Amino acid sequence: MDLSAHAPYVREWLAKGFAGDMGYLHRNLEKRLHPELLELETCRVISARMNYLPPDTQPLEVLACSSKAYISRYALGRDYHKILRKRLANLAQKIDHALPGHQYRAFTDSAPVLEKALGAKAGLGWMGKHTLLLNEEVGSWFFLGEIYTNAPLALSHQPAKEACGKCNACITVCPTQAIVGPKKLDARRCISYLTIEHKGPIDAELRGKMGNRIYGCDDCQLFCPWNRDAPTTNEPDFAPRHNLQNRDLIDLFLLSEKDHDALTVGSAMRRVSYAQWQRNLAIALGNGPATTEAISALQKRRGQLNDMVDEHIDWALEKLMGQIE
């Protein structure tokens, strides 16, 4: 549970501003680095993973089709927070039956927890050059969750060996060059950050590099050799909903706010506002073919929401009209 070895890297990353607008990563930093401060009396952390990659979603084909919307594979199904946290809570109950009288609290991406560091310490994988946890058998397509407890459980003493070697595929293929070095991610350039966490206008210099990615980005995983034979999930809750693995950009862009809310009920995509949704789709349309339908959709939506969305619609229209001229 000792995370002192990770502390200098976390502090340096934050000091360089790589967290962007994610101010919550600065808050409760000591609790991230010291689990016993987050949940008092914690002396052990159980780290678990759960595969989420749905089969047959053809991510590379969708990325190559500029009229389609690419959504990160983890967000195609139901919200993983609730699913994984429920599984962990059930596991905690079973442990409590075997070791009663102790405290157990489950987390998954929902509290100041240094999940990847804890997962690496537990032997679930090593920190890849793309900053995601990698495992020789399952790659990186998995969620992480933790159970904090004061039960004196046996410790794991088998951390995974780093096996990225000389491979730099994730660094090379990153569309916006957000991986500025091995295990160094500048979130301010990362498409996942830009499309989800960032609320305002997206830097014009980065828009053209985002392609048709409207919610998250998987490139660093898609081209990682350790994911070549990664297993898919049998969990029905992670299966794509509403055909989101293969939707047309224009159809999604023309959704009303009410329809957008209905589409994202029970989904991790609920994290983005309708304005962010429109912004992301406008960029993707601007990076696509200059069809009459795309131009008409952008013109129809202009002036309907706010200045931030209009800025990206104008950018997209300028790009598309430039193709015609």
**114 C-beta neighbours (distance < 10 Å), count:** 21
First to last CA, the chain: 61
Is residue 325 classed as helix, strand or coil in its secondary structure? coil
Distance from C-alpha of 165 to C-alpha of 182, rounded to nearest angstrom: 11
Rounded to 10 degrees, the C-alpha dihedral 52/179/182/58 comes to: 30
Q: Quick one: 183 exposed, middle or buried, by C-beta within 10 A (0-12, 13-18, 19+)?
A: middle
Phi/psi at 50 (5° precision): -145, 120
Q: Which of 109, 237, 248, 314 is catalytic?
A: 109
Q: Could you give the CA distance from residue 225 to residue 168 in angstroms, rounded to a whole number?
A: 10
Characterize 149-172 residue by residue with b for buried, 16 or more Cβ atoms within 10 angstroms of its Cβ, and e for exposed: bbbeeeeeeeebeeebeeeebbbe
Residue 109 a catalytic site member? yes
Cα pseudo-dihedral 85, 195, 23, 36, rounded to 10: 20
Q: Which residues are catalytic, by number? A: 109
